[in-house]
Amino acid sequence: MRLRLSTSPVLKKASISDHKCDAQDTILRNLDTGQIWPHFRLTTSVLVAVMRAIFLAFVLFLVTAATASAQFRIGIGGGARSTMPIAVLEFEPANSASAQHARDFTKVVRQNLQHSGTFTVVNGKDYPQTSAEFLSQPDWRAWRKSDAKVIVTGDVSVSGSTVQATYHIYYANSRTHKLSEMAEVRLSQWRELAHFVSDVVHLKVAGIDGHYASQIVFIAEDGSATSRVKRLAIMDQDGHNIRYLSDGSSIVLTPRFSPEGDEITYTEINSGRVRVILRHLVTGQQEVLETAEGTSTFSPRFSPDGRGIVYSLALNGNTDIYYMDLQTRARERLTMDASAETSPSISPDGRKVAFESDRTSGQQIYVLDRQTGKVKRISIQDRARYATPVWSPDGQWIAFTRIKDGEFAIGIMRPDGTTEQILATGYVVESPTWSPNSTALAFARQERQTGDGTVKTRIYAVDLFERREWPLPTTSEASDPAWSPRLARN
């Protein structure tokens, strides 16, 4: 980790300080000294694949102009379903060598913000000014007439092997300057810089963290329907930077991140056994979770405190839900039914376990209270099958897969089963997974097969508020997504 410290003020453009800034403090933001991810920080030198996403490479200086006068809080938490129109001006290239990166950088930031459920990015053609024009002399009157309430602008400068972005946030209506910062990163990591800037904008304007500095672990699929090759893979939340973690020699399914983001657990079918595997992303070490003979274990998921794994164990044809403490390796059986119980998910407070069971006629979702041992069914429609409950990180929702009249759907409901809403449908849609800020879901959608041996399955995401859906551009077919926790902090 090499830190390049600069003592010179970052902001050189006189125009910025001309705007309404109540105070200007120079703050050195060095994420390396932050209280985040101590584990990862210690092991960075060994890590390439996972760590490359990360913040620690950022050397960040910033000058904050703190104008707290306008604080937008949108949708989430407030309940309102409106998005904030935002203009992301084309970032100015500092020199001709920066032109392509400036364009790409702008594109990534726009796409990120559009995929938040928080913002609507106003079409670039409708901007009254370019970045250069705005930064030399903002035409507030023109901006007030445009749809944009928030203006993001700045420049991108490539020099040698580093790339630098200066970025500013303004509010059009109040003509206020919200923030100016500069961040720098190795050129090869320019996408992370764009994600980082997107996160800053999300946090500063919406008041909550974005999900841009996160990753998705998933199953990359190749081959025909009858000889499918499945590999563990990890990508950035926008579908880029795919890395493969397994070679396809065994069937791998349903990977999930630990709450720290440094481990995954998944199901592997190999040599006639179905087993839960625990794998450390930094060291690459892996182990079989449950070694008891005659058992099949699958559908693992970390507890939110990271201390244990909840999973399904099949013994003598009966599948029930178990919890294993990773320290003591003590195994606790959570369900005792002759029916099939699977797809468990522990609530963020650790007190409840949502799972699916076919104890009545078809699959339905139940919630177990770990203190009282009481089980309550929460999905209410008898005509539909409900599966794969997943608690949102903020505890407000349970995402699920619903199969009704042969049609698959991804939806959300409150933990008491009320307020059911369908967000996506398809021939087979399943494996919902929450963005770390609980504002979006990723899931897999398999198309109806034509019978020529191909299987089309891709990962999509949808935001909760506008229900805009977008595909993740994986290079192969893809399934079983699982979103990581947030990997950085602003």
- Report the residue from 155, 192, 290, 356 that binds other proteins according to the rule CB under 8 A: 356
Q: Is residue 4 a contact point for other proteins (CB under 8 A)?
A: no
Site string (364-393) toward other proteins, x via CB under 8 A:
-----------------------xx-----
Q: How far apart are CA 24 and CA 27, in angstroms?
A: 9
Q: Is residue 250 a contact point for other proteins (CB under 8 A)?
A: no
Going along 77-118, which residue ranges are E strands?
A: 84-88, 92-93
Q: Which residue has the tokens 């928080």?
A: 118
Q: Is residue 450 a contact point for other proteins (CB under 8 A)?
A: yes
Q: Which of residues 207-226 bind other proteins (CB under 8 A)?
A: 224-226
Q: Is residue 422 a contact point for other proteins (CB under 8 A)?
A: no
Applying CB under 8 A, which part among 119-127, 191-199, 232-240, 293-301 lies near other proteins?
A: 293-301
> Quick one: 157 or 254, whose CB is closer to other proteins?
254
Residues whose CB is less than 8 angstroms from the CB of residue 224 and which lie 6 or more positions away in sequence, other chains included: 453, 454, 455
Q: How far apart are CA 241 and CA 133, in angstroms?
A: 34
- Report the residue from 392, 401, 438, 484 that binds other proteins according to the rule CB under 8 A: 401
Q: Which of residues 121-150 bind other proteins (CB under 8 A)?
A: none
- Is the separation of the CB atoms in 399 and 412 below 8 Å? yes
**Residue 53 burial (C-beta neighbours within 10 Å; 0-12, 13-18, 19+):** buried
Q: Is residue 60 a contact point for other proteins (CB under 8 A)?
A: no
Q: Is residue 477 a contact point for other proteins (CB under 8 A)?
A: no
Q: What is the DSSP letter of 344?
A: E
Q: What share of the chain is helix, strand, coil (3-state, %, to 5)?
A: 15, 40, 40
Q: Which of residues 81-100 bind other proteins (CB under 8 A)?
A: none
Applying CB under 8 A, which part among 19-27, 137-145, 313-321, 459-467 lies near other proteins?
A: 313-321
Q: Is residue 111 a contact point for other proteins (CB under 8 A)?
A: no
Q: Is residue 318 a contact point for other proteins (CB under 8 A)?
A: yes
- Report the residue from 12, 272, 292, 418 that binds other proteins according to the rule CB under 8 A: 272
- Is the separation of the CB atoms in 203 and 436 below 8 Å? no
- Taking each helix axis as running N to C, give the angle between helix 99-114 and helix 190-201, from 0 to 180 degrees, rounded to the nearest 10: 40
Q: How far apart are CA 368 and CA 388, in angstroms?
A: 15
Say whether 406 sits in a helix, a strand or coil: coil
Binders of other proteins: how many residues, by CB under 8 A?
48
> Quick one: 153 or 343, whose CB is closer to other proteins?
343
> Quick one: 160 or 406, whose CB is closer to other proteins?
406
Q: Is residue 449 a contact point for other proteins (CB under 8 A)?
A: yes
- Report the residue from 480, 481, 483, 487 that binds other proteins according to the rule CB under 8 A: 480
Listing DSSP states for 241-286 in one string gives S-EE---SSSEEEEEEE-TTSSEEEEEEEETTEEEEEEEETTT--E
Q: Is residue 452 a contact point for other proteins (CB under 8 A)?
A: yes
User: Closest distance between other proteins and the C-beta of residue 429, in Å?
Assistant: 10
- The one-letter amino acid code at 371 reads Q
User: Closest distance between other proteins and the C-beta of residue 163, in Å?
Assistant: 40
Q: How far apart are CA 257 and CA 300, in angstroms?
A: 10
- Is the separation of the CB atoms in 464 and 392 below 8 Å? no
Chain positions contacting other proteins, by CB under 8 A: 224-226, 228, 230, 251, 253-254, 267, 269, 272-274, 296, 298-299, 312, 314, 316-319, 340, 342-343, 356, 358, 362-363, 387-388, 401, 403, 406, 427-428, 430-431, 446, 448-455, 480
